[in-house]
């Protein structure tokens, strides 16, 4: 006889308790512990496994978002331009406009913006520290970033500008693409944080740091959490320095969700200014699939798109509450960004883009399934 208040579903017995907890018992455990194994015992778990494969909420965040309609870009659908002669003609005209007119113009603007950034920041860096140097540095950075934004034909809508990050704070945002930096920096100046590179990127970094106190780390220093935290803490304590721009996800996500924020930037204790960035993929997909495209090929794809359309929301500043640890604070900020940007809030680590699932996560799922099969020690004692 089934206990009052219990409900049967899929050969499992669900027993709700007054404290809101629901205990799941297996019919096989309650009534047929002495019977032999039956094939139907695995149906529930097989169904859950197939559902997880068909609707994987993690790995699909690392590939480009699917469009409901074709935007006349071959990269979004390789078959639509063969549907009819009219579509083929429109696609061909679009190809001619994008690669024959827009791409050369945008490449010229990009080289102009980067060249001016390197030259002018190097000149400003020769000036003595003071108000004049800071003023010129901000104007130079804004001008050059806005030229680079024009090179992408970026159409940006900024919301709630009264909440823009202020000096001595940390700006955190969801991360979709390397161009997130110039999207935000074209509306305000930030201190960048990153690893020192070689080549052209290294030249740009060395010239930028002469005019503005950016935070660059050597490759050997990046893994030293205490050193990184010390450098960040020293920067935010000086209220005359620009706010730090950080992307706590640590990798690019396809702008449909926000994944786990690394807790490092939330341990410092500074005021956090959340920013939500949402791109419109109908005119050009800004997501950078770094495992598939290099930086140069990615930028060429961006410059040969119709446009980069996005909205940026500046959220009210947030501070760590009493009794709240860094992980809880990071999750609260992440939830606010996801809610404002209309993104899915996921607890998974973006590091799964290149790494395997940790054994601890597998063990947690195994424990959940074992409880469904045999229950906990407390459940067995009650039965």
pLDDT tens for 122-151 read 898 888 888 898 899 899 999 999 999 999
Residue 374 has which token pair? 């045999």
Q: Is the pTM of this model over 0.85?
A: no
55 CB-contact burial (10 Å; exposed 0-12 / middle 13-18 / buried 19+): exposed
Question: Would you list the domain boundaries of the chain?
Answer: 74-347
pLDDT of residue 332: 92
59: nearest Cα among 377, 349, 375, 296 = 349
pLDDT tens for 93-102 read 888 888 899 8
pLDDT tens for 269-319 read 788 999 999 998 888 888 888 777 777 888 888 888 888 899 999 999 999
Mean pLDDT of 64-86: 61
Higher per-residue confidence, 18 vs 80: 80
> E strands within the chain?
7-9, 12-16, 22-26, 154-159, 170-173, 191-195, 215-217, 244-246, 257-258, 272-280, 308-314, 344-345
pLDDT of residue 68: 60
Confidence class for position 337, pLDDT limits 50, 70, 90: very high
Mean pLDDT of 103-132: 91
Distance, CA of 320 to CA of 318 (rounded, Å): 7
């Amino acid at each position: 006889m089934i206990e009052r208040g219990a409900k049967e579903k899929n050969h499992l017995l669900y027993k709700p308790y007054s404290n809101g907890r629901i205990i799941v018992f297996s019919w096989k455990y309650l009534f047929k512990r002495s019977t032999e194994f039956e094939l139907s015992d695995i149906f529930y778990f097989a169904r859950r496994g197939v559902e997880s494969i068909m609707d994987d909420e993690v790995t699909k965040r690392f590939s480009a978002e699917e469009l409901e309609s074709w935007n006349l870009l071959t990269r979004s659908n390789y078959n639509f331009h063969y549907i009819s002669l009219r579509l083929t003609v429109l696609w061909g005209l679009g190809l001619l406009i994008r690669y024959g007119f827009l791409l050369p113009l945008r490449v010229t603007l990009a080289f102009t913006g980067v060249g001016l950034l390197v030259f002018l920041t190097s000149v400003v860096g020769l000036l003595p520290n003071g108000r004049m140097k800071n003023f010129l540095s901000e104007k130079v950075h804004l001008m050059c970033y806005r030229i680079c934004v024009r090179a992408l034909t970026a159409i940006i809508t900024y919301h709630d500008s009264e909440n823009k990050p202020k000096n001595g704070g940390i700006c955190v945002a969801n991360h979709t693409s390397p161009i997130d930096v110039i999207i935000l920096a074209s509306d305000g100046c930030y201190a960048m944080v990153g690893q020192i590179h070689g080549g052209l990127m290294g030249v740009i970094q060395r010239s930028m740091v002469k005019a503005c106190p950016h935070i660059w780390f050597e490759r050997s220093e990046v893994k030293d959490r205490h050193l990184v935290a010390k450098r960040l803490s020293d920067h935010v304590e000086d209220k005359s320095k620009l706010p730090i721009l950080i992307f706590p996800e640590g990798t690019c996500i396809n702008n449909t969700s926000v994944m786990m924020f690394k807790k490092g930037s939330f341990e410092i204790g500074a005021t956090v200014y959340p920013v939500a960035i949402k791109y419109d993929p109908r005119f050009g997909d800004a997501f950078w699939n770094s495992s598939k495209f290099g930086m140069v090929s990615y930028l060429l794809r961006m410059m040969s798109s119709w446009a980069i359309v996005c909205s940026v929301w500046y959220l009210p500043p947030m501070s760590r509450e009493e009794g709240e640890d860094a992980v809880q604070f990071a999750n609260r900020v992440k939830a606010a960004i996801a809610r404002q940007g209309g993104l899915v809030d996921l607890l998974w680590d973006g590091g799964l883009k290149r790494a395997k699932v940790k054994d601890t996560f597998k063990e947690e799922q195994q424990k959940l399934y074992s409880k469904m099969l045999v229950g906990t020690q407390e459940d067995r004692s009650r039965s």
